[in-house]
Structure 1
Amino acid sequence: MATSVKIDDETKSRLERLQTEIRLKTGKRVTQQEVLARLVENAVESKADLIDPFREKRVPLSESERERFHDGMVSSGVTTTEGDIDDVLYG
């Protein structure tokens, strides 16, 4: 059973380019439905890459501010295990 999905012109154009590139590189004709199915399948395998851009930013930091924050982090040289955390939290 097929269901229609509405997409804007730019997305449709990008889908068509993907479809064409697949045909040129593999010699196999694929439908746009097959391309979308593969994209969804791959997205399920890497959900974080798909979901993260939809998250609301809680702190409006610029990329340079984020980099500066992470540059200030240093390793203490101590490895912390789940057991260590449990001991601190639960005694």
Structure 2
Amino acid sequence: MATAVKVDEDAKSRLEELQAEIRLRTGTTVTQQDLLTRLIDDAFESRDDVIDSFRESTVPLSEDDKEAMRRDRFRSGVETDESDIDEILYG
């Protein structure tokens, strides 16, 4: 059973371009439905990458973000080592 999916004009154009390139390079005609199915199958194999692509923040940080973090740092005057951190976090 096929279901309609709305895509913007840019996405539709890129899908058609990919469809045409497949035909040009392989001599095989594929439907947009087959192409989308293949793309989804491929994305499913690397689903963590797809999920991560929707996160708001990215790692590594941009240079602007790094500079903002450096700018907002301050020294409390108290020496802290790993055991202090463990005690604070884990009690």
Instruction: State TM-score, norm by structure 1.
Output: 0.63
Partner of 2:26: 26
Q: Which runs of 5+ in 2 are unaligned?
A: 67-91
Aligned counterparts of 1:6 and 1:24: Cα–Cα separation in 2: 26
% identity of equivalent residues? 60
Partner of 1:57: 57
Q: Measure how far apart 1:53 and its partner are.
A: 1.4
Q: Which runs of 5+ in 1 are unaligned?
A: 67-91
2:42 aligned partner, one-letter code: N
Change in Cα spacing, 1:63 to 1:16, as seen in structure 2 (3 Å) is farther
Partner of 1:4: 4
Q: Measure how far apart 1:48 and its partner are.
A: 1.8
Q: Residues 3-49 of structure 1: CA distance to partner in whole angstroms, max 9, x if unpaired?
A: 00000000000000010000011101000000000000000001122
State how many pairs are aligned.
Answer: 66
Following superposition, which runs of at least 4 residues in structure 1 exceed 3 angstroms of deviation?
Answer: 63-66
Q: How do 1:44-83 and structure 2 match up within 5 A?
A: 44-57=44-57, 61-62=61-62
Larger radius of gyration between Structure 1 and Structure 2: 2
Change in Cα spacing, 1:37 to 1:9, as seen in structure 2 (3 Å) is same
Aligned counterparts of 1:49 and 1:23: Cα–Cα separation in 2: 28
Q: Measure how far apart 1:65 and its partner are.
A: 6.1
